[in-house]
A = this chain, B = another copy of it.
Amino acid sequence: MNEGFLANCLFFTANRLSRSVTKIAEEQFAATGLSPMYGYLILLVNGTPGITQKELAEALYVTPSTLTRFIDKLEAKRLVERKVHGKTVQVYSTDKGMELEDTIRQASKNLQSRYREILGEESKQSLNGEIKSASEKLEKK
């Protein structure tokens, strides 16, 4: 049972990557006062007024219940607002949310540069591609 044998187990490597990637994203988004997840959520809402929660959940790769919680928080901060429409909920941006647009876009740009800076354009791309295709296969069961 050598230590470090976990370094080759996808369960650990994937979680490890997720944490380091998230950490850097949080640093770059600090300027916005939002976590990256909420930042991107706002970009989506600003750019697609009336987007439904279901669509948001899919775009952000989180479950509907998680998305409900996110919208709860952003609505409490008056950064987005709900409009119930039958059984679906459409989400709209607010003035306050719109004001953040540029700041968030900039953070997003900075973040991408940071990744490129650290990993190199080359391997950033290929990493992303491999991850994407792996996720698809894994989700398909």
A residues neighboring B (CB under 8 Å): 1, 3-4, 6-25, 36, 40, 43-44, 46-48, 55, 59-61, 108, 111-112, 115, 118-119, 123-124, 126-128, 130-135, 137-139, 141
With known contacts A132-B13, A138-B21, A6–B59 Cβ distance under 8 A: yes
New contact pairs (20) apart from A1-B48, A10-B128, CB-CB < 8 Å: A1-B44, A6-B59, A8-B132, A9-B40, A9-B111, A14-B21, A15-B21, A16-B131, A18-B18, A19-B61, A20-B134, A20-B138, A21-B138, A118-B138, A118-B141, A119-B134, A123-B134, A127-B130, A127-B134, A130-B130
Main secondary structure of the interface of A (DSSP, over half): helix
